[in-house]
């Protein structure tokens, strides 16, 4: 990857590559051959002198049986991007703790969220159809 300066992250990833290669009892020569590169090039990846490509890291991950994320675990962050990225927060679960002995109304929170969503995003006809479907569901469940 010509022109890109390496840093502490490349050293970290390289160390993890070397560790997994040794744990898997693989030689640098054997791994390098599977990549179609020289053992010297692999050694540069392991030392963090050169930055490994995502494709090679994925191949090495499959070769050693560890997830790609393993190579980044414990790595010092050099940016201000939050660890979870810019993704939305995980949704809150509204399932009852135990279906058999759940307290009445344990689904109340879910019902409130669904009702608010329907009010905001459905037309009047859509809300009527939704309410009718809920009534049919109640009838079928024997309530």
String of DSSP letters for 83-138: TTTTPPPPPPP---S-STTPPTTTTHHHHHHHHHHHHHHS-HHHHHHHHHHHHHHH
- What the block records as the tokens of 103 is 């307290």
The predicted-structure confidence for 30-85, as pLDDT tens digits, reads as follows: 999 988 899 999 999 999 999 999 999 999 999 889 999 999 999 887 777 776 66
Question: Could you tell me if 34 and 63 are in contact, meaning their C-beta atoms sit under 8 angstroms apart?
Answer: yes
- What the block records as the tokens of 124 is 């009047």
Least confident of 77-81, 102-106, 114-118, 125-129: 102-106
Rounded-to-integer distance, Cα 9 and Cα 16, Å: 11
Q: What is the pLDDT of residue 100?
A: 47
Q: What is the pLDDT of residue 18?
A: 96
């Amino acid at each position: 990857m010509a022109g890109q300066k390496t840093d502490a992250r490349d050293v970290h990833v390289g160390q993890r590559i070397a560790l997994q290669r040794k744990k898997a009892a693989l030689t640098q020569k054997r791994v390098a051959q599977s990549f179609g590169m020289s053992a010297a090039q692999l050694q540069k990846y392991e030392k963090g002198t050169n930055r490994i490509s995502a494709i090679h890291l994925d191949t090495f991950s499959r070769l050693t049986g560890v997830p790609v994320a393993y190579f980044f675990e414990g790595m010092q962050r050099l940016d201000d991007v939050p660890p979870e990225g810019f993704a939305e927060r995980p949704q809150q679960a509204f399932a009852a703790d135990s279906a058999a002995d759940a307290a009445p109304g344990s689904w109340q929170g879910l019902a409130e969220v669904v009702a608010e969503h329907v009010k905001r995003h459905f037309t009047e006809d859509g809300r009527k159809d939704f309410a009718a479907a809920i009534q049919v569901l109640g009838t079928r469940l024997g309530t």
